[in-house]
Amino acid sequence: MIEQVKGTRNLYGLEAEKYLYIYDIFRKSFNTYGYDLIELPTIEHKKLFDKSIGENSEIVTKQMYEFKDKGNRDLVLRPEATASVVRFHNEFFKNESKKYSYFGKMFRYENPQKNRYREFIQAGAEIVGTIDEYSNLQILKSSIRFLSLLNIKSKLNLNTIGTKEEREKYIRELDKYFTKNKRELSKESVDKIGKNTLRILDSNDPFDNQIIDLAPVIYDYLSNETLSQYETFKKELTIEDIDFVENPKLVRGLDYYNDLTFEFIANGTVVGGGGRYDSLSEILGLGKLSGIGVAFGVDRLINTVNSIPSKTRVMLIAQNLSDLNLVSSKLDKAGINYLLPVRDSKENTQYKEAIKNNVDYVVNCSENIIKNINNNESMKFNISNLRKLL
């Protein structure tokens, strides 16, 4: 028996229905508000992420699925999408400012656990080009709209990590602090000192909590200009009646972020997050462009969404195929959706299949009857009667 690959997930039944529902709400929240949908390649050149995410990051050093193709090119399965969006924008719309959205699979070789898979789905949005604080606000408002339409109650966590120079100064202080206290850190956190120090602040290991709580705070290493800009943005959120929690330990695990960073937390789980990336295009050697983006873990959203709106389901059954085909043609012309039996079986077998498929109504095409599966009430079949039930 060939088993399913570790860290992957099958979506079927209710989970698949949630997936489609989330995709539909995502489109309504972003695409209809001017974020152009882009379908990105699943494979990219390895150097795209070596440069963008950072060669010392955990994603690049441990988690990327790498391979050489038959042309001896170093390729990877994409671990995230922002760098791909920026690559696309610079190639085709370099001198413009645009909004993008994407919905697709990413790949990271992580330790599989609840809400964390090696093949996972992300839904994201980016504004790239010449942008400002209003662009930041747009991304947050669009994200809040999306989660609200999904009936997910979340908390917005907010922080600023300053400019690259300010952050590097802060990291040097963190290196000293964590090196001094490394005996009181987990092995995983000790391994990050000097390589990916900021990510120690993200540690979920209870052993690290006390040392992290007493760590230097980034605000002490930011310029007055950066802090003033951050305060202005927080005031704007208050004016817009957007609730948020300030979290000075919030850092995003990608080297290209600067200034604004944020996360959405629901039931103790981070379901989405993002931030500004004004140097990403330069890091990739593509010129100067700014950006702000957000990404949501669709697998986490599937696990978080409690219920989805139910749709009335109708199945056709018949004593012969000619009756079935006649009625199905009428419903096609009327634009009414329906289910059909898997095969040309006996009418009773078809009815059992309808029950198994959790339909609400069965249309007996041979007897011209609509039957309510739940209470066994029946009525004459015609398009008008069926429409009233939908």
* Maximum distance among all Cα pairs of the chain, rounded to whole angstroms: 83
Q: Where are the domains of the chain?
A: 14-163+223-304, 314-389
Q: Which CATH class is domain 14-163+223-304?
A: alpha beta
pLDDT in tens, 268-288: 899 999 999 998 888 888 888
Among the four given CATH numbers 3.40.50.800, 3.40.50.300, 1.20.1250.20, 3.40.640.10, the one describing domain 314-389 = 3.40.50.800
pLDDT in tens, 287-316: 888 999 999 999 999 999 988 988 899 999
CA distances from 103 to 50, 61, 172, 343 (A): 23, 25, 37, 35
Q: Is the dihedral of CA 267, 272, 278, 283 positive or negative?
A: positive
What confidence score (pLDDT) does residue 253 get? 62
If DSSP codes are grouped into helix, strand and coil, which group holds residue 275?
Answer: strand
β-pairing, 369-372 with 378-380? Answer: antiparallel
Output Rg (C-alpha) for the chain, integer angstroms: 26
Q: What is the pTM of this model?
A: 0.89
- For residue 40, pLDDT beyond 70: yes
CA distances from 173 to 168, 224, 367 (A): 9, 19, 80
Separation between Cα atoms, residue 301 and residue 124, nearest integer Å: 13
Three-state secondary structure of 76-127? EECCCCHHHHHHHHHHHCCCCCEEEEEEEEEECCCCCECCECCEEEEEEEEE
